[in-house]
Structure 1
Amino acid sequence: MRLVVDLNRCQGYAQCAFLAPDVFTMRGDEALLYNPHADKAQREQVLRAATACPVQAILVEDDPDDASEAASSRLTGAGEGLSSVR
């Protein structure tokens, strides 16, 4: 999974840091630091963080290697209600 955060759009609400603290952290009041290559084990937390972003500044992209996993989760209904692209 690959993450891209539009830092021009980010307003520092820190919802992502609250929901996925191993991936997103705040430095000071406004500077967001994040791991652009989050671990697959953190997928659910990252998707919740992206969904919770008030300004929709977080884009989550699937790696080609993860495509078969994403397809199987759609078939089984896993992750229902969450979008992997923002």
Structure 2
Amino acid sequence: RRSWLMLPWVVLGIVLAIGLLISVLHTSITYYLDKEDHVTLATIILIGGLLYLCLYLYLWAVVFSHYLDVRDEEERGRYRKAPYRR
């Protein structure tokens, strides 16, 4: 189990989350400022996009937590006790 193999996925995940936030905000602001009346569509895009972003960040946090566990296991050695179990 090597943590460095997970590192590109962790970094890519947070970069995609930032891109998703920018995209959702840009799209909803564009619809809000449009001359036609797209207020309901802009609100749906904003709320749906933010809910999707929250779900995405939760799943990213789960993967990041596993990455930290693997990295700690590498540093400590596979069969040594965890520092909190002494």
| TM-score in terms of structure 2 length | 0.25
- Structure (1/2) with the larger strand percentage: 1
Larger RCO, structure (CA 8 Å, separation 6 or more): 2
- Structure (1/2) with the larger helix percentage: 2
